[in-house]
Amino acid sequence: MADRHSAVEAVAAVVVVVVVVVVVAIVVVVAVIIVVVVVVVVVVVVVVVVVVVVVVVLAVVVVIHHQQQNHQFTSTRSHNVRRISRDRTRGRSMLHCAGCTMSGEKKGRWRH
């Protein structure tokens, strides 16, 4: 009877150890999965934020550059136009400007 009782205790101890090991393994696996998911989400969010910031910065730079070019062109043009006269030989309007390398029908380069 004592042998049977000790055998039952030994089996019970082994079952308890196996159950504890299985539960700990499941908890560890779930924890690892949660950590991996969190890391992936953080990486995706960081990549999206970086891409959005880069796109916004590039868009702002392009818009500012475009506005500066337009402003330079219009301000140069408005300040440098001296007079519009008629070319009597060809019957065309000639644009005489101080900031342009050429005048008339041919479009010259604006001096900066």
Q: Is the pTM of this model over 0.85?
A: no
- How far does CA 49 lie from the centroid of its chain? 6
Q: Which of 44, 105, 59, 109 is nearest to 80 (CA)?
A: 109
Q: What gap in Å lies between CA 9 and CA 52, rounded to an integer?
A: 64
- How far does CA 88 lie from the centroid of its chain? 57
pLDDT value for 107: 54
Phi, psi torsion values for 108, nearest 5 degrees: -90, 175
Look at 101 and 64; give whichever has higher pLDDT.
Answer: 64
Neighbours of 38 (CB within 10 A): 10
User: What are the tens digits of pLDDT across the range 16-46?
Assistant: 999 999 999 999 999 999 999 999 999 999 9
User: What are the tens digits of pLDDT across the range 43-100?
Assistant: 999 999 999 999 999 999 988 887 777 655 555 455 444 444 444 444 444 454 444 5
Domain ranges (residues) in the chain: 1-59, 80-112
